Amino acid sequence: MGYVPGRFDRDGAEDMDRIAKTIFAPIYPVIAQQIIERCGISRGRCLDIGSGPGSLGIALAQASALAVTLLDSSPEMIAIAGGNVREAGLSGRVALLSGDVHDIPLPDRSVDLAVSRGSLFFWEDLPRAFSEIHRVLAPGGTAYVGGGFGTAELRDTIAATMERANPDWRSFRDRNLGADNRERVAGILENLGFRHRLVSDDSGFWVVMEKEG
């Protein structure tokens, strides 16, 4: 298992896909359920930003009536996601879109639920990315953006397995999910002035941004 955080070329996409289908597999249905409960949205249009192989968006489609679009800036990830959507029998309800969170190729107010897991750590300009997410949200829509593993048990089991293969993995995770980064992201959201709340618990670190209806 040669997973290297931040490598999104063909090899990186294949590694992410393998991990998403094995070690990480149990987290996606758990996080999907948390999103549905915490955001109170289970129908309408959903955008999974930095979807990678599409596991979270697929789990959301399976657990709800949402029509999901998987957005990723890596064409290799989108190609793999396409295969996963077909395999799940969800081609009628899960679409694919190549694009960057800093310039989301969707109209204003076109998304009811925007989700993103494990991608914001790679975004170059967080104020611009969150402004783009806010732009595409429909009035009354919610964004759930962050990182984590759903529960403490899943987090700790995954950390132990990932660390065996890559000793740097825990420091990568701690940098992303640690107090300094949480405070940095919180400060950015505060400055932007969008209505939001922060979830910081065993499920991970999540920005829940709501657009006024």
Kindly list the residues in this chain that would bind ligand SAM in the complex (CB under 6 A): 8, 16, 20, 50-52, 55-56, 72-74, 77, 100-102, 117-119, 122-123
C-alpha torsion angle, residues 134, 175, 162, 146 (rounded to 10)? -10
The CB-of-161 to ligand SAM minimum distance in angstroms stands at 15
Q: Which is nearer to ligand SAM, 23 or 138 (CB)?
A: 23
- On whether the CB atoms of residues 197 and 133 are closer than 8 A, the answer is no
Q: Which is nearer to ligand SAM, 52 or 141 (CB)?
A: 52
CA–CA separation, 134 vs 37, rounded Å?
21
C-alpha torsion angle, residues 180, 158, 100, 33 (rounded to 10)? -100
The CB-of-52 to ligand SAM minimum distance in angstroms stands at 3
The CB-of-121 to ligand SAM minimum distance in angstroms stands at 8
Q: Which is nearer to ligand SAM, 125 or 156 (CB)?
A: 125
Tell me the residue nearest to ligand SAM as measured from the CB. 52
Q: Is 188 exposed, middle or buried (0-12, 13-18, 19+ CB in 10 A)?
A: middle
CA–CA separation, 49 vs 145, rounded Å?
9
The CB-of-123 to ligand SAM minimum distance in angstroms stands at 5
